[in-house]
Amino acid sequence: MYTDAIDLPDHSRFDVDLAIIGSGPAGITLARAFANRSTQVCLIEAGGLAYDARVQSLYEGESAGIPYPIAGNRMRLFGGSSNHWGGFCRPLDPIDFEKRDWVPFSGWPFGIEELMPYYEPASVLVEIAPGRFNDKTYWEHATGETIPDPVTGRMQLRYTHFSPPTRFGQRYGDDLKRAANVRVLYNANVTNIASLQEGRAVQQLDIRTLTGLSHSVRARIYVLATGGLENARTLLLSNKSVPAGLGNQHDLVGRFFMEHPHLSGFGEIVVADLRRRPRAFTRRVEADGRAATAAFNPSEAFLRERRLLNATFLAGEAGPYYGYTRSDWAKAPLHMDMLRAARPFLADGSGPVDSARPDLLGEWLGLGCACEQVPNPDSRVTLAGERDLLGLPKIRLDWRLTEQDRRSVVEHMRSLAMEYGALGIGRMLLGVEDDGQWPAEVTGGAHHMGTTRMHDDPKQGVVDRNCRVHGVDNLYVAGSSVFTTGGAANPTLTVVALALRLADHLKTRLG
Ligand SMILES: Cc1cc2nc3c(=O)[nH]c(=O)nc-3n(C[C@H](O)[C@H](O)[C@H](O)COP(=O)(O)OP(=O)(O)OC[C@H]3O[C@@H](n4cnc5c(N)ncnc54)[C@H](O)[C@@H]3O)c2cc1C
């Protein structure tokens, strides 16, 4: 059932078993897991069923650290940021869950085996081919090409899968509409999580509309699923009975904000022998109606040996080289020199690499990477002085990166260059100065992680291994804000897997 909070009489109240705040992939996955059961569910969404600029403005904030598009990197409407996401999917790697002595604050309370049973149903929900992330044979069979194994020991191949991308609101909205036990309450901004007993139990959710109405929802169990930035803001705003904010007794809410620092244009690869470069290295290839591309990741052995952070490297075709250079390519003469150096047979005319394209000499690849960053307590979300249209303090984000993060990615770039050379595919031109500075073009990937991190010790994490807020009996958090470390995989597949795991836990608790 769908209910528009704007159409309700002022001061309406709903009493349910389970209240879920936020209808992104996390909230919808959770609500759907309870559809057509005896549990009464209210899924509360701040936005409407379509984009509205006034609603979206409630996401604006202040960026105090590395410049960050705080409103532009998320969406406030039914379906959340899945209305906008790119659909890149991959599970975290086993090493990402470990306590690594060279990564401060690392170590999830459990290993990847805890999430493995949930990655498969999560893959179904995001509509990708299940379980083919490391399976070179499957993609060789699908593409009819040989995919070489990395040879330096530094890199390994992983397959990034592409969701269509699934828009969770459109794709699963009807399932929720049909379920008699689920109410979707939209245009309903949760402005305060009201608590009792000095924050030890949630009493109700205070809700406001942009038209000035106030409502409330009471439940036995509450789940905060408002996205990796807003989860922290909502807890900090819920400060009526606990001045520091709900769950913030150890000043951890909002700290440890992590992104996947993205760099592009840090290097180019001049492919000298197209026969050695499988399509999957640079393009989306298809099998059974699903698409994937090969990514280079540092091998686990190399990460351990050199005490580095995880990373993902993707390449794409930037242009072909023909038997002449085009004057509008500023870099073409340099590339052609590299190409000649890499392919001595060009000079003696021993033949083209592609018999169907005799004028084609090679190819120029652009590179992109998304890296892990060290959890850093000073990289954080707080409340700003300025207020939003509801009169609430806006979010303030101070995203910070460290020298350890930078050194790690520079080393991986060198490894990638070695790997392409060793595979005999081409030569890599590294465009990053190793000068102790992060390049100005570092951006995020709209991946908001760590602000309500998971840890068994309440002094080191906001939520426990079941995603329950430490010290609050009936409040849970869903989404990438619970990630203890971020790995180098896009987060949403793991967000959905964690939401399915949380649903199982709550089913036991709610009966
Ligand atoms: C441009 C872009 C590209 C992306 N590409 C990828 C990708 O390729 N791969 C990948 O894995 N991830 C990608 N992401 C990230 C992905 O979208 C998120 O990981 C995912 O949406 C998180 O799901 P969520 O349910 O935790 O939060 P969200 O999707 O952010 O949903 C939160 C919901 O809570 C609602 N809400 C917020 N505050 C309140 C409140 N106070 N009261 C009630 N409701 C509230 C919001 O309106 C929203 O609907 C991308 C994101 C963007 C923006």
467: Cβ contacts below 8 Å, ≥ 6 apart: 454, 476, 477, 478, 482, 498, 502, 505
CA distance 386 to 403: 32
Q: Residue 380's closest CA among 449, 480, 467? A: 449
Question: Tell me, what's the pLDDT at 330?
Answer: 55
DSSP tag of 93: P
Residue 11 lies in a domain: yes
CA distance 287 to 242: 53
Name the residue with the closest Cα to ligand 1, atom 3: 85
CA distance 496 to 493: 5
Backbone angles phi, psi at 338, to 5 degrees: -65, -40
CA distance 282 to 367: 10
CA distance 462 to 346: 61
Atom of ligand 1 nearest to the CA of 492: 11
Determine which helix (DSSP H) or strand (DSSP E) holds 301, and give its type and residue range.
helix 300-306
Considering 441, 459, 494, which residue would you say is the last residue of a domain? 441
Determine which helix (DSSP H) or strand (DSSP E) holds 267, and give its type and residue range.
strand 262-271
Q: Give the pLDDT mean for 255-282.
A: 88
Number of domains in the chain: 2
Q: Give the pLDDT mean for 297-317.
A: 96
> Which CA distances in Å does 120 have to 90, 172, 178, 483, 491?
11, 18, 25, 19, 15
- Summarised one tens digit per residue, pLDDT across range 47-88 is 999 999 999 999 999 999 999 999 999 999 999 999 999 999
- Shared domain check, 142 and 276: yes
Question: Tell me, what's the pLDDT at 197?
Answer: 84
- Shared domain check, 16 and 41: yes
Rg of the chain on CA atoms, in Å: 24
Compute, in angstroms, the gap from residue 376 CA to the centroid of ligand 1: 22
- Summarised one tens digit per residue, pLDDT across range 391-413 is 999 999 999 999 999 999 999 99
- Summarised one tens digit per residue, pLDDT across range 131-185 is 788 888 988 998 899 999 999 999 999 999 999 999 999 999 999 999 999 999 9
- Shared domain check, 49 and 148: no
User: Ligand 1 test: best mutation among 81, 88, 481, most atoms within 8 Å of CB?
Assistant: 81
Atom of ligand 1 nearest to the CA of 490: 11
Compute, in angstroms, the gap from residue 23 CA to the centroid of ligand 1: 9
Residue 255 lies in a domain: no
- Shared domain check, 207 and 171: yes
Question: Tell me, what's the pLDDT at 357?
Answer: 64
Residue 71 lies in a domain: no
Compute, in angstroms, the gap from residue 64 CA to the centroid of ligand 1: 21
- Summarised one tens digit per residue, pLDDT across range 424-444 is 888 888 877 778 888 888 999
- Shared domain check, 479 and 457: yes
Question: Tell me, what's the pLDDT at 352?
Answer: 45
- Shared domain check, 99 and 2: yes
Residue 72 lies in a domain: no
CA distance 367 to 381: 31
CA distance 113 to 463: 20
- Shared domain check, 334 and 466: no
Is the pLDDT confidence value at 294 over 60? yes
DSSP tag of 74: S
Compute, in angstroms, the gap from residue 84 CA to the centroid of ligand 1: 8
Handedness of CA 104, 108, 110, 111 (dihedral sign): negative
Is residue 50 exposed (0-12), middle (13-18) or buried (19+ Cβ within 10 Å)?
A: exposed
Backbone angles phi, psi at 56, to 5 degrees: -60, -30
Query: Which residue ranges have their beta carbon within 6 Å of ligand 1?
Result: 21-27, 44-47, 73-74, 76-77, 80-82, 84-89, 189-190, 225-227, 230, 234, 446-447, 479-480, 490-492, 495
Is the pLDDT confidence value at 245 over 80? yes
Place of tokens 């870099």: 331
Residue 69 lies in a domain: no
- Summarised one tens digit per residue, pLDDT across range 454-497 is 999 999 999 999 999 999 999 999 999 999 999 999 999 999 99
> Which CA distances in Å does 503 have to 115, 258, 267, 448, 461?
13, 25, 44, 22, 21
Atom of ligand 1 nearest to the CA of 29: 25
- Shared domain check, 284 and 307: yes
Structure tokens at 488: 């180098």
Name the residue with the closest Cα to ligand 1, atom 31: 24
Compute, in angstroms, the gap from residue 354 CA to the centroid of ligand 1: 44
Residue 394 lies in a domain: no
- Least confidently predicted of 55-69, 194-208, 246-260, 325-339: 325-339
Supply the range of the domain harboring residue 123: 1-55+77-128+167-247+449-511
- Shared domain check, 242 and 190: yes
Q: Give the pLDDT mean for 326-331.
A: 49
For residues 16 and 42, is the Cβ–Cβ distance under 8 A?
Answer: yes
Compute, in angstroms, the gap from residue 80 CA to the centroid of ligand 1: 5
Compute, in angstroms, the gap from residue 321 CA to the centroid of ligand 1: 40
Structure tokens at 231: 């989860």
Residue 390 lies in a domain: no
Q: How big is the CA angle at 495 (ends 491 and 498), to the nearest 5 degrees?
A: 135
- Shared domain check, 346 and 328: yes
Question: Tell me, what's the pLDDT at 96?
Answer: 98
Atom of ligand 1 nearest to the CA of 228: 26
Considering 381, 411, 441, which residue would you say is the last residue of a domain? 441
CA distance 407 to 311: 12
Is residue 239 exposed (0-12), middle (13-18) or buried (19+ Cβ within 10 Å)?
A: middle
Average pLDDT, the chain: 92
3-state secondary structure string across 151-203: CCCCEEEEEEEECCCCCHHHHHHHHHHHCCCEEEEECCEEEEEEEEHHHCEEE
Compute, in angstroms, the gap from residue 75 CA to the centroid of ligand 1: 6
Residue 65 lies in a domain: no
- Shared domain check, 492 and 357: no
Q: Give the pLDDT mean for 207-234.
A: 98
User: Ligand 1 test: best mutation among 226, 231, 258, most atoms within 8 Å of CB?
Assistant: 226
Question: Tell me, what's the pLDDT at 290?
Answer: 87
Here the CATH number for the domain that contains residue 211 is 3.50.50.60
> Which CA distances in Å does 186 have to 3, 28, 221, 430, 488?
6, 13, 19, 49, 34
Handedness of CA 105, 262, 160, 493 (dihedral sign): positive
61: Cβ contacts below 8 Å, ≥ 6 apart: 70, 71, 229, 384, 394, 395, 396, 397
| Secondary structure of residue 284 in the 3-state scheme | coil
Question: Tell me, what's the pLDDT at 356?
Answer: 66
Q: What is the reported pTM?
A: 0.95
- Shared domain check, 197 and 322: no
CA distance 495 to 497: 6
Compute, in angstroms, the gap from residue 82 CA to the centroid of ligand 1: 6
